[in-house]
Amino acid sequence: MKTLFRGRRLAGLAAAVLLAAAPAGARAQEFINILTGGTSGVYYPMGVALSKIYGEKIPNVRPTVQATKASVENLVLLQQGRGEIAFTLGDSLDAAWKGDEEAGFKTPLKKLRGITAIYPNYVQIVASKESGIKTLADLKGKRLSVGAPKSGTELNARAILAAAGLGYKDLGKVEYLPFAESVELMKNRQLDATLQSAGLGVASLRDLATSIEINVVEVPKAVIDKAGPPFISTPIPANTYTGQTAAVNTAAVVNYLVTHEGVKDELVYQMTKNIFENLGDLAASHAAGKDIKLERALDGMPIPLHPGAARYLKEKGLKVGS
């Protein structure tokens, strides 16, 4: 009987030793849920690229990609702890931190933490040529899609139209639709124009421009100056879209990658490090990735940095506040 007991005890000890020696991944994996946007935008393919990078480069993690309504939804989900990293527009992020109810935030989202600035979103207003829309004033009485309700795109639409002296009441019809759905309605002549806040060369607008003749509508610098920060004035280069033969001025606002205070410092350090060590892969996923620069990582960051991100950026020589 003693021999049997001793044998069981030794077996138990051996199992414990094996468990302790097992790789960390065999015991537990950390999840990285990447909150993106609609599948026809820029956030989603870039999120897929991040997922691949993280899965290959960070030990013992399981990345997933979640398609969402983009900025506002992403920030609310982060505040709730339902994601580890998210894409967002700068104006949405600022509104979330302050608790701007009109922008969709009933209370300040103080659990949010910054990782890095990435690329600028361009406010791209594209009309069908047959609509006759060539200027912002021409939108009066026309049918316009302004993005999903309370999305970063829709907040941009409100700000730019207001600066141009226009409101939704001045339009013939307002549709609150994601990028791909807006394009389908335009192809079917059920919409005159779409406003999409995204990186240059966004798939939805490339699709539209190869299907119908388009006009890319200028947002003049005077309108952008009136809208004020975080908007900047910048051109959409000629030939960004089929049939767009000249550069067109528009507004842009910086995008960010953000997380929340509950994510471990080491995990955020690794997520930040692998963004900047794999910029080629991000650029390959979408042309907007070419605009991500380490030296601009802190540009306009409206919320506190996560300690894990701050550690990496300090190591790379950036001046990070205490």
Question: Who wins on pLDDT, 215 or 26?
Answer: 215
Give 14's pLDDT tier (boundaries 50, 70, 90).
Answer: very low
Domains in the chain, ordered, with CATH? 29-118+255-315 (3.40.190.10), 121-253 (3.40.190.10)
Decide if 69 contacts 151 (C-beta within 8 A). Answer: yes
Q: What is the mean pLDDT of the chain?
A: 91
**21, pLDDT greater than 50:** no
Decide if 195 contacts 146 (C-beta within 8 A). Answer: yes
Cα-flanking dihedrals φ and ψ of residue 320, to 5°?
-105, 130
**10, pLDDT greater than 60:** no
Give 37-68 pLDDT, tens digit per residue. Answer: 999 889 999 999 999 999 999 999 999 999 99
**Where is average pLDDT lowest: 11-25, 224-238, 255-269?**
11-25
Q: What is the mean pLDDT of residues 186-208?
A: 95
**CA dist list (Å): 38 to 41, 44, 75, 118, 179:** 6, 6, 15, 18, 7
Does residue 230 have a cis peptide bond before it, meaning omega lies within 30 degrees of 0?
yes
**258, pLDDT greater than 60:** yes
Give 118-147 pLDDT, tens digit per residue. Answer: 999 899 999 999 999 999 999 999 999 999
What DSSP state is assigned to residue 305? B
Q: What is the pLDDT of residue 4?
A: 46
CA 292 – CA 207 distance, rounded (Å):
24
Q: What is the pLDDT of residue 257?
A: 98
**196, pLDDT greater than 90:** yes
Give 16's pLDDT tier (boundaries 50, 70, 90).
Answer: very low
Q: Which amino acid is at 71?
A: S
Q: What is the pLDDT of residue 322?
A: 54
Q: What is the mean pLDDT of residues 151-155?
A: 89
Decide if 5 contacts 13 (C-beta within 8 A). Answer: no
